[in-house]
Amino acid sequence: MMAKNGLYQQFGKYAGLAFLLPTCVLVGYVIGYLLDKLFKTHFLYIVFLLLGVAAGMIEVIRELTQDDD
């Protein structure tokens, strides 16, 4: 029974990682898009999109290298 719980926990962890990177990218894009509309510019969405990609990659690496207790 204990092995199944550990397996389900690992599955949940890695399934969550599948949504982490796209979510960070989407949030970065939306923030940039809204700031572009607010300031009437056309480049902030790219800046925040790249920041979202970087933040997502850092978080994925952090999650994968974290020790499981």
What confidence score (pLDDT) does residue 1 get? Answer: 46
Distance CA 43, CA 64 (A): 32
Tell me: the pLDDT tens digits for 4-61? 778 888 888 888 889 999 999 999 999 999 999 999 999 999 999 999 999 999 999 9
Contacts of 63 (CB under 8 A, 6+ apart): 13, 17, 20
Query: 69 vs 41, which has greater pLDDT?
Result: 41
What confidence score (pLDDT) does residue 13 get? Answer: 85
Given a cut of 70, whether residue 3 has pLDDT beyond it is no
How many CB atoms lie under 10 A from the CB of residue 57?
14
Q: In Å, how far are 6, 7, 11, 63, 68 from 57, measured between CA atoms? A: 25, 24, 20, 10, 20
pTM of the model: 0.82
